[in-house]
Amino acid sequence: MKERYQSFNSPIELGTRICLMLTALNSKQSLDDLVLLDYALLYSNEFDGPDNLHPALPNHLAEIAHRREMLPKAIDFLLKRGLIRLAVKADGHYYECNHSTIEFVSCLQSPYYKKAWIRLNWINENKQRIVNTKITELAKSFT
C-alpha cells in the first residue's frame, strides 16, 4: 500500500520548522526538546510569548503527542538529505544545523516564515523555560 502524507504537520512541514529552529538556536537539540520547541513556535502565546503562529484549535495540546510520533520521520527525511547533522553523545542523540541547513532556511522568504523568525528569536531567549514547562501546566491553561 502506498503511504499517504497529510499536509498538516507532515514530515516536510515539521522538517522545515526543525531546520528553522536548529538554525535559530545554533545548538544541539534532543528530540524531546524539539517536540516542545516546535509546539512553542506554533503556540507561543501559551508560554507568555508573541501571538500564536497557528490558530489555537480545540484540543491542540494533543498535537504534542502527534508531533512526538511524526518528528522522527521528519528528522529521518532531513538526515537522509544532509539538511541536519546527528550528534550521538553518551547521554543521547542530538540534532544540529549544518551549512546545508543554513542555505535551505535562507531561501524561506514567505510571510509565514518571517513571522516564524520573530517567534524563534523569542524562543532562543526563553528556551530553558520552555523546555522545562510541564505539559500538565499547559493543560491547566485550557480549563
Q: What pLDDT is stored for residue 62 in this prediction?
A: 83
Report the mean per-residue pLDDT for the chain. 89
Position 7 pLDDT exceeds 60: no
Q: What is the pLDDT of residues 99-127, one digit of tens each?
A: 999 999 999 999 999 999 999 999 999 99
- Per-residue model confidence as pLDDT tens digits over 53-80: 998 887 778 888 888 899 999 999 999 9
Q: What is the 3-state secondary structure (H, E, C) of the chain?
A: CCCCCCCCCCHHHHHHHHHHHHHHHCCCECHHHHHHHHHHHHCHHHHCCCCCCCCCCCCHHHHHHHHHHHHHHHHHHHHHCCCEEEEEECCEEEEEECHHHHHHHCCCCCHHHHHHHHHHHHHHHHHHHHHCCCHHHHHHCCC
pLDDT of residue 136: 64
> Considering the entire predicted model, what is its pTM?
0.87
